Each structure stands twice: as structure tokens, then as C-alpha cells.
Structure 1
Amino acid sequence: MPLASRLCTRWFSLGLAALVATGCATSTAPVAPVTPVMSGAPTAAAPVRVKVFVAAMFEIGQNTGDRAGEFQHWYERYWKGATPVTVPGALQPVYCNADGVCGAVLGMGKVNSSSSMQAILLNPKFDFSQAYYVISGVAGTPPQRGTIGEVNWATWLVDYDLGHRWAPEENKAGEPTFMPRKGYEEYRRFQLNPALVGWAMKLSADTPLKDSDSARKYRLRYPDAAARRAPFVGTGTHMTGDTFFHGPGMSKQAQYIAKLYGADDYVITEMEAAAITLVIKRTHGTERVMSLRGAVNFDQGNPSESTLAHLDPAPGETAGGFAETVENIALVGTRVVDHIVGHWPQWQGGVPKP
């Protein structure tokens, strides 16, 4: 048999398409194309269809069995025994359960948390096309508007930075020392879906919250009625900044920025939510984003305490209630997560009408 005929005969076994591509002549007799047999070939696993993703910023030790940080109560509720999924570019692995609830520790600060979130969102092991997000962690609050142990759903997320600042002594007395920088209008503040915030409050506002004797005692150092309240579930603007700002002056500036941008009253200071939300917005939009924070400190000292003393307190002078607050966050947040997952046919297409 001529060489060309032998080659065409061999190529024919690969199918009719290969014959056409190589230009081999065929006989006039019709021959059915042969389908290659892929015996034993590996198949890619279908991506996890994420219904709710819970983002925490840090954990103190292990995910279970020791002192709880921001992730442990969530982990023990949804992922105890789950196989960790390593994601290149993310700080910690992702955990998922059979109901489509996933979560991870993203890291503290804007860059740390947002880079982890982006790596997870872009990883092909997950399908986030219909996912809801709960950005969860501890925070500070001004004593005029919040208290230790409270849990707060964000109505707005505002970036504390992205502008110009100067020293107070370089300005007229009492005037603001912050000016927004042009060009950041699209990502210096986000209004979260009011319908979703409404659902979150409807489902969680009456959650019984934990408290501690140490927190009760600490609150009495402040004359403000809000500071002396027992823990509650509320809403308001969350201020995102990489700086742990302290003192009445910085607190006043945060409120000034919130009002400058048309947001609600500033009630929570934290370090990640606006940055994480920007990443989510660029991939899937913000209609399904929630930010949930628990207050573990006030953003300023009491009237008889200097800002430096508040920033670096002596032993025994810190606010109590950390353990209770991280538990409160999960108590409140799981009510919403469980409802969404338990009523998925009503939620998968978008936030239902109340």
C-alpha cells in the first residue's frame, strides 16, 4: 500500500473531521465516523453553587475548640468537619457545606481582605452567580450611637480614606480637615440594597443577645445613653479605614465624611467592608451584599480619659464583652443565612419583596 494511502487509512480512524482537515481522499462508500474512546479520562468536578458566602477577617487560633475569633462560631455552625478548599491567592482556605453555604477568613485590612475575596470569586471551583454575601466581623462604635456587644447591619459602606487630610493646627479652628479627592466617586461609598437590609432586620432584630458583667461595668464609664444600652441589633453607616482611629476628633470627622457623601449616621468603624464590596461589585454587583459587625470597643475614651490612654489602656481597663460579641454576630447572622438557604426558590432569583 502506498505511504499516502496508509497514512489516510490511519487518520481515518480518528474520525471524518480529521480526514477533512488533512485533505485525504476518501472512497465513495459511506463510512460512519469513529468516536474516540476516552476510557478512564478524568472529568472536572462541577463547581460549588454558592448560596451564601460568609467572610470573616481573622481567627484567633483554631477554627474550633479554643477562644473564638470572628470565624469560629460560623465554622462550628456550618463547616465542622468540612474539607478545606485551598484557593491560590487567598489567605485561608474556603469551607462549604452541602447546602451551599461557604465561608473563609480573608485577612484584616483593605488590601488583605479584598485580594483574598477576588481570588475566591475568580476560582473556577465556585459558582457565585447567585450568591449572597455576609461580610462579618468585630468593630468599634461611637458612644453617642452604639454600645459594646451590639450587632449592626450596614445601610451604607463609606471609605474613610480616598481624600486629602491635614493637621488641625493648619486650619481654622473647628473646620474640617478632610476633603474628598476627585475621581473616587464610584467606590468611596456604597449604598447596600435597602430591601436586603430590611429583610436582615426583619429576620434578626429580636435575636436574644449575650452580655457580660465586664461590659456592663465598662459602659458606665460613659455618660451617653446609647453607650449604656444593653446589646441590640441596629443599622447605619459602616466606615472602612485601614487606620484604627481614636478620639472624639476622628469620630467627628468620620461622621462628617458620612454626611458629606449622603450616607446615614456613622455607627461602625471597621477595616474591610468597602474594599470587599468593590471587588464583589466588579464581578457580580452589590444587590446581594450584607455587612454585619459587632461592636467590641468605643472609638474614643470617656470624658475623664485621654485618647492615648484609651488607645493603649492599662491592664484591666479594656472593654469587656469580646467573647459575647463574636457570639452575637453569629447568632444574628445565622438567622438570615438559614432563612435564605431554607427558602432558596424564593431567593435565588433576587431579593424577594417583603
Structure 2
Amino acid sequence: MRRYAPLVLTLALTWPAFTAAQEPQEVKVFIGSMFEIGELEGDRAGEFQAWYEDYLSEAEPREVPGAANPVWCNDEGVCGSILGMGKVASSSSMMAILLDPALDFSNAYFLMTGVAGTPPDKGTIGAVSWATWLVDYDLGHRWAADEVPEGEPLFMPRDGYEDIRVYELNPDLVDHAVELSSNVELTDSQDAQSYRERYPQETARRAPFVFTGTHMTGDTFFHGPGLSKQAQYMTELYGADDYVITEMEAAAIAQVVDRLHGTDRLLSLRGAVNFDQGHPDETTLEHLDPAPGETAGGFAETIENIHAVGAAFVEEVVNNWDQWREGSPKN
């Protein structure tokens, strides 16, 4: 017992002041973004700035031990934080926040938001996707293409991860979120339009739109048609919807939320700022590390689109909390 006493004392001293006499704040919507570029206001926006400016600029930051950044909560029950990039950083922050005794997540909706990549036959720059499934890109075995007959799979799932490698999100909640997005006007840019023309796929050339499908979570920032096909193969292997988004956090965050609250109120919203492979006139390496002037463009517009689409959901929940508190009205 004695050897653990310093740790207990440290936690007692560093945990934000909170007593049993205080009622924890009821969280209606928690918004989790993964990174910010600079300041929280007034400069080039990363994933969190628009949420902060719109909902949280008047809130006091709350330091949470174990979280990468503070949590902000407004008086309407909207909370948010920058969780960190990658599976470990984001999920460990999420667990710390969920265990904060000052916040009551019993009825909360979780909106995970950020930028991502998309295959050019499924999405386009500036498009925004609600996940129907989350799949972990890892948790299996991989090998080099020259070690098996040509055309054979290069990935095999490993036993023991069946409950955490794939999550089907609540279809009724996703449908409701898509419905709320249907009248949201998305922005575009000339730079993004010009970049799209380099791709032959009809979908890649489209103006931004809202779409659904599987979001693939992996710390590996994979690029190229071969790995894109492998991601699609994995979704088929797991019985999920088509792979449409590559990102680095959502499946890991889902595992954390699932342990404490289940995933019925979890949504993943991503905007495409790049394609997961090059156009016919560039190699995969050139696409991964583009020369000046060869980037996709449309980052700021995508950030704006993510916020516009997600805010339609946040506003609906907060403004009609009596209907949403017990669950999605479509359930």
C-alpha cells in the first residue's frame, strides 16, 4: 500500500477541484477534433477552431489529467476538446475526459470530426462523410506482395480482435444526421476545382457533397491504389459498407466510448482534403510528397464544410433536447 501512496497523493492534488456536493454538468454533445494549427481564434483554422468560435469561446478551459488539451463546455451542454492525432493520443485523451467526475456523459452524443482522405471513385476534395462503419486498418497480419502469388490478398485478420476491429454505428442516428445535412450548402474553391480535373473518375470531379460509408482508421498514412484496394478488401472481409474515408482516430475512440457508454450515440464526421492516391500522371511518392503548387487545395473550404454539416446536428440536438435526451427520435 505504501508504494502507491505518492501516486494517490499526486492524483488528488492535480485533479481539477470537484466535490461530491457539486452536480456534474450534463453533456449534450461532445465534439472531439484531432488537431489545431495555431491559435483557437482568428488565424488559419485547423479542425477545432470553428467549433471553438461558434460554441465555446466564452467557456473556461478545464484541465483534465491525461487529456492532451483542456475541455471547454458552454452553458447549453456543448463540450469539446482537441484530442490529439493518431489512435493512442486521441483514445487516451477521450478516456481521460470520459472519467472526469465534473462531466456527466450519461446521455451525451459524441461527434468526432476532422479532415481525411478519400478514394477518387468514392469522394472528392471538400466532400463530407458520415461514417456508417468504423474499421481498424491494423489488428491483423500483412506481408509484401512478392511473397505470395500475384493477386492474392496481402492482409489477414488476427483472431481475438473481433469485438474491436469493426464498429457499425447506429443506423438510425446516422440516417438522422444525413437528413439534417441534406439542405446544408457546401463551399468550394477554384483551386480544388482545378485539382479535381487531374483525375479521370467522375466522382473525383464532382463539387463537394455529403456521403456515407466506412471510415478506415489507421496510424499508417497509406497512399496509392494498391493500399486503397486493400482497405476496400478489408471492409468486404468484415461485412462493412464500402471504404470511403481514411483517417487515424475514429475506431480507437469508438472502442473507448464503447467501454463506458456504448456506441449508439457516436458519430464520425470527416471532410476529404486529399485523395488516397495520385492521378494518372504522378507516382504514389509524388502524390504523398507533392512539389510546390501540386497540393490539392480546398483545405479551408473543407474545414468550413465539416463545421456546417456537423453544426446542423449539434443545433438540432441542443435546441430539441427534450426529444433527444432519451435517444435519437428516429430510434
TM-score of the superposed pair, with normalisation by structure 2: 0.93
Q: Which residue in 1 is equivalent to 2:102?
A: 125
CA distance in 2, matches of 1:185, 1:95: 35
Matched, 1:203 2:185: no
Structure 1 ranges of 4+ moved more than 6 A: none
Give the 3-state SS of the residue equivalent to 1:154 in structure 2: strand
Q: Give 3-state SS (helix, strand or coil) of 1:334's partner.
A: helix
How is 1:171-186 mapped onto 2 (pairs within 5 angstroms)?
171-186=148-163
Q: Over residues 184-207 of structure 1, what are the superposed CA-to-partner deviations in whole Å (9 max), with x where a residue is unaligned? A: 000000000000001001101221
User: 3-state DSSP class of the match of 2:124?
Assistant: coil
For residue 90 of structure 2, what is the aligned residue in structure 1? 113
Contact 2:58–2:74, Cα closer than 8 Å, also in 1: no
Contact 1:141 1:268 (8 Å CA) reproduced? yes
Distance in 2 (alpha carbons) for counterparts of 1:101 and 1:275: 22
What is the distance in 1 between the residues matched to 2:218 and 2:23? 38
In the TM superposition, residue 81 of structure 1 has moved relative to its aligned partner by 2.2
The residue matched to 2:300 in structure 1 has which SS?
A: helix
Question: Are 1:231 and 2:208 matched, yes or no?
Answer: yes
| 1:217 alignment counterpart | 194
SS in 2 for 1:208: coil
Q: 1:103 aligns with which of 80, 86, 100?
A: 80
- Output aligned runs, 1:1-354, within 5 Å: 44-353=21-330
CA contact (8 A) 2:24 2:102 kept: yes
Within 2, Cα distance between the matches of 1:205 and 1:109? 30
- For 2:308 and 2:291, the matched residues in 1 are separated by 31
Q: Which runs of 5+ in 2 are unaligned?
A: 1-18
The gaps in structure 1 that reach 5 residues or longer are 1-41
Q: C-alpha root-mean-square deviation of aligned residues, in Å?
A: 0.9
- Kindly provide the amino acid, as one letter, of the partner of residue 215 in structure 2: H
| 1:133 positional shift | 0.5
SS at match of 2:141: strand
Deviations 1:126-165 (A, max 9, x none): 0000000000000000001100000000000000000000
Structure 2 SS opposite 1:249: helix
Q: In the TM superposition, what whole-angstrom CA distance separates every residue of 1:284-332 from its partner, at most 9, and x where no partner exists?
A: 0000000000000000000111000001100000000000001110000
- Name the structure 2 match of 1:39: none
Question: Could you tell which deviates more after superposition, 202-211 or 158-167?
Answer: 202-211
Amino acid at match of 1:284: H
SS state at 2:317 partner: helix
Matched residue pairs, number?
A: 313
The residue type equivalent to 2:289 in the other structure is: D
Q: Partner amino acid for 1:168?
A: A
Q: Is the 8 A contact 1:143 1:299 kept in 2?
A: yes
**CA shift digits 1:165-198 (9 cap, x unpaired):** 0000101101110000000000000000000001
Distance 2:75 2:59 in 1: 9
Q: What is the alpha-carbon distance in structure 2 between the residues aligned to residue 281 and residue 162 of structure 1?
A: 18
SS at match of 1:139: strand
Partner in structure 1 of residue 7 of structure 2: none
